[in-house]
Amino acid sequence: MLSMKFVVTLTLVIVTILGCVIDGYNCRIVQFIFGDSLSDVGNNEQLPKSLAKANLPWYGIDFGNGLPNGRFTNGRTVSDIIGDDMGLPRPPAFLDPNLDEDTILNNGVNYASGGGGILNETGGYFIQRLCMYKQIELFQGTQELIARKIGKNESRKFFEEARYVVALGSNDFINNYLMPVYSDSWKYNDNSFMDYLVGTLRDQLKILHGLGARKLMVFGLGPMGCIPLQRVLSTSGECQDKTNKLAKQFNEATDKMMQELSTSLTDATYKFGDAFDVVDDVIKNPNRYGFTNSDSPCCSFGRIRPALTCVPASILCKDRSKYVFWDEYHPSDSANMIIAKELIKKFKFTRVNQDDNGDGSPSPAPALGPAADAPSGVADAPSAADGPSGADAPSASS
């Protein structure tokens, strides 16, 4: 006859196992992403008045069926790649019409919005975008929804076990402080604007902590003075040194702030992901990383620069895996892999969902894309059935 102690233990084990299914609650750890166009996976597609959208060919050409999916690149974002490596499911856009409680419990949510910034005023000329405070407000609504679904206690555990990514800041400079159409450009100097920006981010991270965010990473800024748009707007065609100095200053101040929060906030594991140096090296020494071009976009409108975004009539480079930049603003899938691999290596990320085998992740960017002299690449673009070869792309271990 089984002892009562054994029966109780067995019952607890069964309840624990079945608890992953009851009421749609999923025991897998998910992630919640806050960011701008570098992390957007479709939120801006649902903002009817937004001028910052990736809804035209050739965005998404190397992702899934090759059609635009809301990502401002040809393939995956850095968050996609790091999440895949950690066994985290890819969170859908908050504004995805199909989002519901079960989807949130199984996959998390991505609130990132092209043109969004840490500051409310950033990116105003894009008409519609989700700034960081608005993204936090939407996250609060998500929490209320999940609490009604699985109860307050289970909801609290769910959100405390989740992973969080915050990746904003570049728009606060490029589409705010460095543009004279914004009042911040004459209200502040470099130091006072930095204090304002990093202080606002600190307040936002403290709010997230109050909402249960315990394991959180803030991505730093890359050498944004070297993006093709900044180069073409300069008189020399070289990187804009002032813009890069601001990015480094932001990284240093944010890194210090993150260390302070990690020690002062209860149970907080807050990290700062700085990939400035590796991206800077990729841009200065592209051949070392397998690239042939690091100063112009793969997807451009011929000699008309800047075209800002890809359009159906854009000319694509011959080999997308050889270009650091996809358009005037955003890195290519191959560059995103290198950035992600650097962060994975630096922070020794480990898999959090061991049962997740990563099936369904898109392949790396193909080695060969539409010919550079094709007007729109219709004839040469790979079909969804072809699938990318990835022969010359960096290792997919990232």
User: Which residue in the list 327, 332, 333, 334 is annotated as catalytic?
Assistant: 327
Cβ(7)–Cβ(15) under 8 Å? no
3-state secondary structure the chain: CCCHHHHHHHHHHHHHHHCCCHHHCCCCCCEEEEECCCCCCCCHHHCCCCCCCCCCCCCCCCCCCCCCCCCCCCCCCHHHHHHHHHCCCCCCECCCCCCCHHHHHHHEEECCCCCCCCCCCCCHHHCCCCCHHHHHHHHHHHHHHHHHHHCHHHHHHHHHHCEEEEECCHHHHHHHHCCCCCCHHHHCCHHHHHHHHHHHHHHHHHHHHHCCCCEEEEECCCCHHHCHHHHHHCCCCCCCHHHHHHHHHHHHHHHHHHHHHHHHCCCCEEEEECCHHHHHHHHHCHHHHCCCEEEEECEEECCECCCCCCCCCCEECCCHHHEEECCCCCECHHHHHHHHHHHHHHHCCCCCCCCCCCCCCCCCCCCCCCCCCCCCCCCCCCCCCCCCCCCCCCCCCC
Q: State how far the Cα of 340 lies from the Cα of 38, in Å rounded to an integer.
A: 12
- To which residue do tokens 């909801």 refer? 155
Phi, psi of 369, rounded to the nearest 5 degrees: -115, -170
Choose among 162, 266, 218, 172: nearest CA to 34: 218
Residue 398 appears among annotated catalytic residues: no
User: Which residue in the list 36, 37, 79, 334 is annotated as catalytic?
Assistant: 37
Residue 386 appears among annotated catalytic residues: no
Q: State how far the Cα of 245 lies from the Cα of 304, in Å rounded to an integer.
A: 28
User: Which residue in the list 36, 50, 294, 330 is annotated as catalytic?
Assistant: 330
Residue 96 appears among annotated catalytic residues: no
Active-site residue list = 37, 327, 330
